[in-house]
Chain A
Amino acid sequence: MANLSNQFAAYRTFRLPDRDLLNLFVPEIIIMKKYFLPAVSFIVVLLVSLQFFRPRLDDPPVTQDFQAPKAVKNILVRACYDCHSNETKLRWYDQVQPVYWQVAAHVRDGRKGLNFSNWDKLAPADRKAKLWEAVNQIEQGAMPVKSYQVVHPNARVSPKDLIVLKKYLTSMIHDLPEDTAKINAFEHQRKSLVSVDRQKLPKTLNDITYLPDYKNWQVISTSDRFDNGTMRVIYGNDIAVNAVKTNHNNPWPDGTIFAKAAWDKLEDRNGNVTTGAFKQVEYMIKNAEKYRSTNGWGFARFKTPKLTPYGKTAIFTTECMNCHKPMKDNDYVFTFPIKN
């Protein structure tokens, strides 16, 4: 007991001169100290009370879990399932406020765009498309979310993992020469073509009207999509073409419009591929002010030669934006334009 109090006394004698010295020579510190304690206590009280305000986050049922070879599945479960499934496994440090707010928002938004627990809700073609999108988001460094990855280092997808995922995707491609279904679809479209009624051009829910003039614009690129068996031509209006000519293509100037037309690929036995059924034409219209809420671009898609506007609600643009998001340093544009 005596021993202890001796130690305490020794500690005090050691500390006191130290403090006095500070107080003598740096009077500002006194002022700082005066406010420091209340400020810290305020923050602590705030942080503690924040713990009681928690966004709701529950785990809805898994209707059908995504199935794939073990090596593939393991990577996605480890790196993506916290935000893209109903089997979210939050660690205790994810649940401390205010971090929890961000985590909960990530899980909510993540599940909305891609949910491996509701795999049955997607048509087979959409499942494939989501997987290609997922692997592309990883390759471009957009997923898993960076801040999450820092705290969950084992969620990182290594270059080796990425190769495993890519191999899985390419193994699912089965190009079929002389695919009768595609040939029939093409012939059917050709026979049933009607000219579009120019009086009432179709319009999307975000108020963008189909622009028939794209056919007269210049081509800025073309794309062979082996992920989904289509081929595309990307057109640019005069403003776009001029921007390319003068290297003012990042950011693209207001008034720029891209149109991307897509067709089925029709392959013959010699590997010659031509355009089959027309799938859709899509537009991106640049207007930084008007389309501020969608990253400065107005998105629109018209499907089949009937030009049916795509999107059940006006927020269909979220889908466009999410997939184009990894291109944010390129003004959300994928295409590498060609000068003509």
Chain B
Amino acid sequence: MIMCSPFQSRIKMKLIFYIIAAGSLFVAGCKGATDPDRLINSKASLPSTFRLSELHEKVITSLINKKVGTMSILYGDEHFKNATQESNLNVPGNSFTLVTWKQQDDAHWFGARIPGELISAETINIGNHTNFVTYRKFMGKNLLLSADTTGQNERIHFILTQRPSIIP
């Protein structure tokens, strides 16, 4: 009799709702982990043939080009420790790699952009004694060596005039 008054049935409904909600949260909590593959940024990954990791280069700085929506990391085999050196990277024997990606929105954080499609990797080797600079550009998802040499000098200048980040 009491249990049938509309007022009480609302209590019951709310309580039942709460219990169901708590129960389904338990289930949701056990929903399980995301598939590891889906968490890898494969679009931005470098082909294993490029073997960047085997060069053991260190981060020198990172860059964003807002106009074209790209982001890059400049690696080098010398660690420019306190960035106190004058920004001259042009030292005999140094080598560098600049990896550039198209930016994409971070699906995990509204407020961040992260690497999207891999655009290019540019390498620079400065001769040990000769100061002769070798520049190469690898393009696209598979980082294929590009035969196009236009604008090389600008790129060399751009890369070698970067200032190292402060990385304490």
- Show the binding face of A for B, using Cβ within 8 Å: 93, 96, 99, 102, 132, 135-136, 139-140, 146-147, 150-151, 166, 169, 186, 189-190, 193, 195-196, 215-216, 218-219, 221-228, 231, 233, 235, 241, 244, 247-251, 261, 263, 265, 267, 270-275, 277-278, 281, 305, 307, 327, 329-331, 333-340
- Separation in Å of the B73 CB from the closest CB of chain A? 6
Are B58 and A215 in contact, CB atoms less than 8 angstroms apart? yes
Q: How large is the interface on B (under 10, 10 to 19, 20 to 34, 35 or more residues)?
A: 35 or more
Q: Which residues of B contact A189 (CB under 8 A)?
A: 166
Q: List 19 A-B contacts (CB under 8 A).
A: A132-B111, A136-B110, A150-B17, A150-B18, A150-B21, A193-B83, A195-B82, A215-B167, A219-B59, A222-B114, A231-B62, A248-B36, A250-B33, A273-B66, A278-B167, A329-B31, A336-B41, A336-B107, A340-B53
Chain A residues positioned under 8 Å from B107 (CB to CB)? 336
Question: Quick check: B79 and A273 within 8 Å, CB to CB?
Answer: no
- Contact between chains at B110 and A135 (CB < 8 Å): yes
Cβ B21 vs Cβ A329 within 8 A: no
Interface flags, B18-54, vs A, CB<8A=1, else 0: 1011101100100111111101111011101000110
The answer to whether B40 touches A223 (Cβ under 8 A) is no
Judge whether B112 is part of the interface by a CB distance below 8 angstroms. Answer: yes
The reply to whether B33 and A329 contact each other, CB–CB distance below 8 Å, is yes
Interface residue B129 (Cβ < 8 Å from any Cβ of A): no
B108 engages A247 (CB within 8 Å) = no
Set of chain A residues within 8 Å of B42, measured between Cβ atoms = 339
Q: Are B21 and A224 in contact (CB under 8 A)?
A: no
CA distance A32 to B56 in the complex (A): 73
A150 to B71: give the CA distance in the assembly, Å: 42
Contact with A along B60-85 (1 / 0, CB 8 A): 01111111000101010001011110
Interface presence of B144 (CB below 8 A): no
Please tell me which one of the listed residues A216, A231, A274 contacts residue B163 in the complex, with CB atoms under 8 A apart.
Answer: A274
Tell whether, in the assembled complex, residue B39 and residue A261 are in contact, meaning their CB atoms are under 8 Å apart: no
Task: Please report which residues of chain B, range 149-168, place their CB below 8 angstroms from some CB of chain A when the two chains form the complex.
Answer: 162-163, 165-168
Q: Is the CB of B168 within 8 A of A93?
A: no
**Do B65 and A272 have beta carbons less than 8 Å apart?**
yes
Which of B20, B59, B81, B163 is close to A150, meaning CB atoms less than 8 Å apart?
B20
Q: Which residues of A contact B10 (CB under 8 A)?
A: 93
- Contacts A228-B111, A333-B39 aside, 9 further interface pairs with beta carbons under 8 A come to A227-B110, A235-B59, A272-B63, A273-B65, A329-B33, A330-B39, A336-B114, A337-B39, A337-B41
